[in-house]
Amino acid sequence: MSQPTVVLDPTAGTTPSDRTRNHRPPSLVGVTVGLLDINKPRGDVFLDRVAERLGEQGATVLRYTKPTFTKPAPVDLRHEIATQCAAVIEALAD
Amino acid sequence: MHDIDDLERRGLAGVVVASEPFAEAAEAQARALGLDVARVFTPHPIQDRTDQEMQDLADDAVEALVSALTSA
Amino acid sequence: MLDGTTRAADEVVAVVPPALVECTVEKVAVNAVMAGCRPEYLPVVLAALEAVCTDEFNMHGILATTMGVGPVLVVNGPVASRIGMNSGVNALGQGNRANVTIGRAVQLVVRNVGGGAPGGIDRATHGSMAKLGFCFAEDEAGSPWTTLSEDRGFDRSQDVVTAFCGEGPRILVDQKSRSADSLVRALAEGLRSSVSPRVMMGMDVMLVLSPEHMSRFRDAGWDRNRFMAELSGHLTVNVDDVLAGAGGIEEGLPEGFAGMALPKFRPGGLLVVHAGGPAGLFSAIVGGWLNGPMGSEPTSREITP
């Protein structure tokens, strides 16, 4: 009797569960928005202007910078943003 | 993408800004993460831009950013 | 394949980027089979994977960067000859099963398990052969110097794999130098162009010295420390030559650095390995990528059964 052929999967073999984005507020008036600078050159100039424009629209803007664009932000920084902000913009990957 | 995915898990509304050549990478990463992370793209390149050009790129992106973070 | 290691099949070896998936010994073995490894290579693959999946090596950033860099793996210790690795003729090229398949297996794990597919999350502008799999052994027996692993704090008797984030190798020719002093100057001149003559200290480099080039230093009685000291002396760059705008080129260091003399490489940013065939007055340069906490640190791991 021949052995059954077993095919092994070289991939992770898992698919992430699909989640949906969080609820969005109707406007940014009175909303605290974090601007997370990924620490790539020129991104700060971009975010300076975004901060200005969001301020004009009534948002409160807080600024953050992660240590390097090549890695995810450290958990302490993510925690800080999450406790201080309701929304976040991360820029600028190129 | 990992950062915004994590911050959405923590209850925030998040959006990523990248330059256009990274649209495909962002889509692949969104699929891998299981969250269709909101994203806004600017024209490429970035590294050789003047301050004025960067400010113009920001002005052009603001509407899309606000729309990604609000339900309006 | 699993007979090649004493580790349990369900043991988690590493958390593999970019999807940050826990990868078991069995998953590594499946990919090692696909790469063409023999079972005795598996411990090297496992140690290499542990090295590249650390925060300091930063495989995530290396995969996602547009620069065409990948993990360059150097094997030291008795394991290299025991499994038949090549440190001699064509060491950085094709033709040796262990060299080629160990590097390939690590890349397949990152691609298959971590999900780092080119054209997807991997956005390398050109890519390079370093991303296909780049692994070789140091020629320890033929070298008068301490080994790369000894330089990095290991004992010569230990089996060690060192991962360096680099591009493909390029040849540095010097067929005329008969003195150590002349050759070290020539090597320094070539190394100054690693990545770009205008990139200073931010990116590391690996220099693969050939046996014939090594013989110049052996004959002069230079040990590794003497060589490194002499080489570093010739790698101090007059910043005015590489300032933004110098020579009509807009790339370069900011004006604030004018008048300074800086080392081309940071301390520890120059890795030297001895490998290659017995004939050929060339060495090879492997340019690096962003170094330090911002990018990638060379990372070594002991290879265990």
Question: How far C298 CA sits from the closest chain A CA (Å)?
Answer: 16
Choose among A10, A14, A70: nearest Cβ to C112. Answer: A10
- Predicted TM-score (pTM) of this structure: 0.90
Q: Which residues pair with C285 in a beta bridge?
A: C170, C207
Closest CA to C195 of C173, C165, C224: C165
Separation of CA B63 from chain center? 12
Residues of B in contact with A33 (CB under 8 A): 69
Average pLDDT over all residues of chain B? 94
The pLDDT value recorded for residue A1 is 59
Domain interval for residue B41? 2-69
Annotate chain B with three-state secondary structure. Answer: CHHHHHHHHCCCEEEEEEEHHHHHHHHHHHHHHCECCEEEEECCCCCCCCHHHHHHHHHHHHHHHHHHHCCC
C-alpha B18/C-alpha B9 separation (Å) is 21
Which three-class secondary structure state does DSSP give residue A91? Answer: strand
A3 vs C: CB within 8 A: no
Q: Using the 8-state DSSP alphabet, how is residue A19 labeled?
A: B
The answer to whether the CB atoms of B71 and A24 lie below 8 A apart is yes
**Please, are residues C291 and C200 in contact by the beta-carbon 8 Å criterion?**
no
Put simply, the answer to whether A41 touches B57 (Cβ < 8 Å) is no
Q: Give strand pairing partners of A35.
A: A63, A89
Contacting B with CB below 8 Å, chain C residues are 18-20, 64, 115, 117, 119-123, 250
Closest in A11, A12, A70 to C290, CB measured: A70
pLDDT tens column, C107-157: 999 999 999 888 888 889 999 999 999 999 999 999 999 999 999 999 999
Please name the residues between 45 and 84 in chain A that touch chain C, using a CB distance below 8 Å: 67-72
Cα separation, A23 vs C270, in Å, equals: 51
Check if A10 contacts C (Cβ < 8 Å). yes
| Range name among A80-84, C34-38, C290-294 with the lowest pLDDT average | C290-294
- Considering just the CA atoms, what is the radius of gyration of chain A in Å? 20
pLDDT given for residue B19 in this prediction: 95
**Which of C269, C101, C108 is closest to A8 using CA atoms?**
C108
% of chain A surpassing 90 pLDDT: 82
Torsion on CA atoms C102, C107, C109, C115, rounded to nearest 10: 180
C278 confidence band (pLDDT: 50, 70, 90): very high
Predicted local distance difference test score (pLDDT) of residue A67: 94
Domain layout of chain A by residue ranges:
32-91
Mean pLDDT across the stretch A56-83?
95
Residue A16's pLDDT is: 75
Residue A17, pLDDT score: 79
Q: φ, ψ for residue C48 (rounded to 5)?
A: -65, -40
* Cα distances (Å, whole numbers) of residue B31 to B2, B37, C62, C122: 12, 9, 20, 14
**Chain A stretch 7-66, residues whose beta carbon is closer than 8 A to a beta carbon of chain B:** 15-28, 31, 33-34, 36, 40-43, 45-50, 53-54, 57, 66
pLDDT in tens, C144-169: 999 999 999 999 999 999 999 999 99
Q: Looking at chain C, list the stretches that DSSP marks H as alpha helix, in order from N- to C-terminal side.
A: 25-35, 42-52, 59-64, 79-82, 97-112, 148-151, 180-191, 211-219, 224-233
**pLDDT for residue C275 is more than 90:** yes
Cβ–Cβ under 8 Å, residues C296 and C290: yes
Rg of chain B in Å (alpha carbons): 13
Split at pLDDT 50, 70, 90, the class of A13 is confident
Show residues of chain C in contact with A7, CB under 8 Å: none
Chains that touch C (3 or more CB pairs under 8 A): A, B
**Residues in chain C closer than 8 A to B21 (CB atoms):** 123
Domain total for chain B? 1
Residue A15, chain C, CB below 8 Å: the answer is: no
Q: State how far the alpha carbon of B51 is from the alpha carbons of A44, A69, B58, in Å.
A: 10, 20, 11
How close, in Å, is residue C62 to chain A by CA atoms? 8
| Residue-by-residue DSSP string for C73-108 | EEEESTHHHHTT---STTTTSSS-HHHHHHHHHHHH
Q: What is the mean pLDDT of residues C74-88?
A: 98
Angle between helices C97-112 and C25-35 (to 10 degrees): 130
Closest chain A C-alpha to C159 CA, distance in angstroms: 27
φ/ψ (deg, to 5) at C69: -115, 155
Give the mean model confidence (pLDDT) for residues C88-110.
97
Question: Chains with 3 or more CB pairs closer than 8 angstroms to B?
Answer: A, C
CB pair distance less than 8 Å for B29 and C119: no
CA distance B49 to B33: 32
Partner-chain contact C294 A72, CB within 8 Å: no
Contact predicate C16/C114, CB 8 Å = yes
ipTM: 0.96
Residue partners of B31: CB distance under 8 A and separation at least 6: none
Q: What does the mean pLDDT of chain C come to? A: 96
Flag the least confident range among A10-14, C84-88, C99-103, C277-281: A10-14
